[in-house]
Amino acid sequence: MYAVDRSVPGRPLRVAMLAPIAWRTPPRHYGPWELATSLLTEALVARGVDVTLFATQDSLTKATLAGVVPRPYNDDPSVDAKVWEMRHVAHVMERAAAFDIIHNQADFVPMAFSRFVQTPIVTTVHGMPSERILPMLQEYQHDVHYVAISETDRSPHLRYAATIPHGIDVDAFPLDTTPTRELLFFGRIHPDKGTAVAIKVARAAGLPLHIAGIVQDQRYFEEEVRPWIDGITVRYSGAVGGEERLRALGSAMALLHLIDFEEPFGLSVVEALACGTPVIAFRRGSMPDLIREGTTGFVVATPEQAVAAVAAIGSIDRRACRADVARRFSVHRMARDYHELYTSIIASKAQARNHPKRVAR
């Protein structure tokens, strides 16, 4: 089904990187899929891979930018998500023959095109597929190479080519060994993320809480979060980026990540750890994969255990937090793993071409 291998000795691997269009790549503040896509793209370029990034036209990259979508649909209501997503995906698929690999970071829509192109498609599955989406992924699991982002996020109903955790540019996160006596909630304000639980834990621990992130559930924010915001015991900064984001992640005594869903990865967890900030998280999703119990933070089951973990946070060596991220979750490791996956897929395709199965007569 796949095309003849176009890899030529001495020529860089040609990769089409398909980003989501909800936010710019990289995002100005929130946008975890776009952030992961950007980090991988830039790291692959640094490795000498010829990457074309298919993203919104306002995106920033050292790769070749190929965009038809003028702006992210979350930034501009005039950009119809459904219409422009179809045009965005069609744009890369119409140019499929120019690439050795298409790397899809944009969810399930590209699967519908996979049998119409001959270039191998790698898809990063950014979260455990729901029952509504699973039929789509199951249908195309023999046509597309799926990648899980954590061991705990592998669906038993899908066939995966690899598990490759996200990576970050550790050097972009300065280590802070003299934090304030303030806890941090960092992420979208939504019941899934446990903002209100973080407030209760901070109050029970007798420490102020800094909340940073976009409001994704307005009713939840108005009823469960806003009444506690007084600028002293609980302060809210909104969505933060740039230097403000780094200060928030690095200056906190600990990050409270008391989620109420099976989170597939958690970039803010790794980013906080890179700054030396230990993490207290509920035992959900990938948290046991990311946090080294008693070394980089604590994985707990109840708010009461979280309060006790806050009291014990002084036992965590902030330098150990950063060292663990540098070893396990660097962007260089992520790019290396994907680069190896791309080349193995191309090699397998070439082997299949050179040794075709004989058809019984």
Fold exhibited by the domain 14-167+330-354: Rossmann fold (3.40.50)
pLDDT at 4: 35
Tell me the longest C-alpha to C-alpha distance in the chain.
Answer: 80
pLDDT at 155: 92
Closest CA to 184 of 299, 259, 277: 277
pLDDT at 36: 95
pLDDT at 2: 31
145, exposed or middle or buried, with CB in 10 Å at 0-12, 13-18, 19+?
A: buried
Residues of the chain with pLDDT under 70: 1-10, 353-361
Strand partners, 313: none
- How far is CA 151 from each of CA 128, 162, 164, 308, rounded to the nearest angstrom? 11, 10, 9, 28
pLDDT at 241: 86
The beta strand positions in 231-294, using DSSP E, are: 234-236, 254-257, 279-282
Two structure tokens written together for 71: 């702006």
- Measured in degrees and rounded to the nearest 5, phi and psi for residue 186 equal -135, 115
Two structure tokens written together for 125: 């599955």
pLDDT at 203: 98
Instruction: For helices 267-274 and 32-46, give the axis angle rounded to 10 degrees.
Output: 60
Which residue has tokens 């990259």? 61
pLDDT at 356: 64
Fold exhibited by the domain 170-326: Rossmann fold (3.40.50)
**For the chain, what are the domain ranges?**
14-167+330-354, 170-326
Are 14-167+330-354 and 170-326 the same fold in CATH? yes
pTM over 0.95: no
pLDDT at 349: 79
Reduced to 3 states (helix: H, G, I; strand: E, B; else coil), residue 22 is coil
